[in-house]
Amino acid sequence: MECQFICDTENDHYQLLDIGWEEYNRIYNCFIHIDIKDEKIWIQENMTENDLACAY
């Protein structure tokens, strides 16, 4: 199993994944998925403990 950071800077799509196999089970977990649309950040998925939308 490995952690992958997918970075599509041309279309402004970003993801953090766990992907691989555990014995005979396929693992695909998307922890973070962020898009940038019209100069705004869209948090599509956030399965972390951190609040990415919180402004400091």
Going from N- to C-terminal start, the domains of the chain cover 2-46
pLDDT of residue 51: 87
pLDDT of residue 20: 96
Is a pLDDT exceeding 70 seen at residue 56? no
Topology given in CATH for the domain delimited by 2-46:
TATA-Binding Protein (3.30.310)
Per DSSP, 56 falls in state: -
Contact 6, 17 (CB under 8 A): yes
pLDDT of residue 50: 86
Give me 27's structure tokens: 């693992």
Task: Specify the higher pLDDT residue, 53 or 21.
Answer: 21
Distances (CA, A) of 45 to 3, 14, 25: 16, 11, 23
